Amino acid sequence: MLQNPPATIPNSLFLASEEATSRLGECLATLLRPGDSVLLDGRIGAGKTHLARAIIQARLPQREEVPSPTFTLVQTYDTPGGEIWHADLYRLSHPDEVWELGLDDAFRTAICLVEWPDRLGRHHPPEALHLSLREEGEGRRVRLSGGRAGLVDAVMRAFLDD
């Protein structure tokens, strides 16, 4: 008797609304652990900050405002599952400035959400999960790649099963 081959898990999702983007953030929040880094790539307005906020708010014990770190460069949050660093590197002029922010230690000990990861230069954290957000029609498409073993598949399954 022939068995059906396992279904192929896609590596991209169409997010038709802000609610869908928030739901992806909630799925990610359940799967991320200290030492995981999420690199959020996309143009201004692509949804990077919205997605990062959704991840952070899903892990906080109570709802609180999550401002964009555009001007502070880094915001940190203490959550029951470990510290979260949310970095917006848009204003950095040189990749070495990443170390002045303390991100090198955070990449090893915290969950790091990094907007504008191209500013990292060659300083990308190992096994970072890359999320590329692009406008598509009335929504956006997010492509997932990298991350620790099995993370992309786990995120896709959690989102599609929700």
- State the pLDDT confidence band at 18, using cuts at 50, 70 and 90: very high
pLDDT higher than threshold 60 for residue 74 = yes
Class of the 19-152 domain?
alpha beta
- Measure the CA–CA gap between 113 and 2, rounded to whole angstroms: 44
pLDDT higher than threshold 80 for residue 65 = yes
101-139 tens-digit pLDDT? 888 899 999 999 999 999 988 878 889 999 999 999 999
Residue 57 contacts residue 63 (beta carbons within 8 Å): yes
Q: Name the token pair of 157.
A: 């399954």
- State the pLDDT confidence band at 9, using cuts at 50, 70 and 90: low
pLDDT higher than threshold 80 for residue 8 = no
pLDDT higher than threshold 80 for residue 23 = yes
**Rounded mean pLDDT of the chain?**
90
CA angle centred on 147, ends 28 and 21, rounded to 5°: 30
Q: For residue 56, which amino acid is it?
A: I
Which region among 23-27, 88-92, 97-101, 124-128 has the lowest average model confidence (pLDDT)? 97-101
pLDDT higher than threshold 90 for residue 7 = no
CB atoms within 10 A of CB 3: 5
Domain residue limits, the chain: 19-152
> What pLDDT score was predicted for residue 41?
97
32-52 tens-digit pLDDT? 999 999 999 999 999 999 999
Angle between helices 48-59 and 18-31 (to 10 degrees): 50
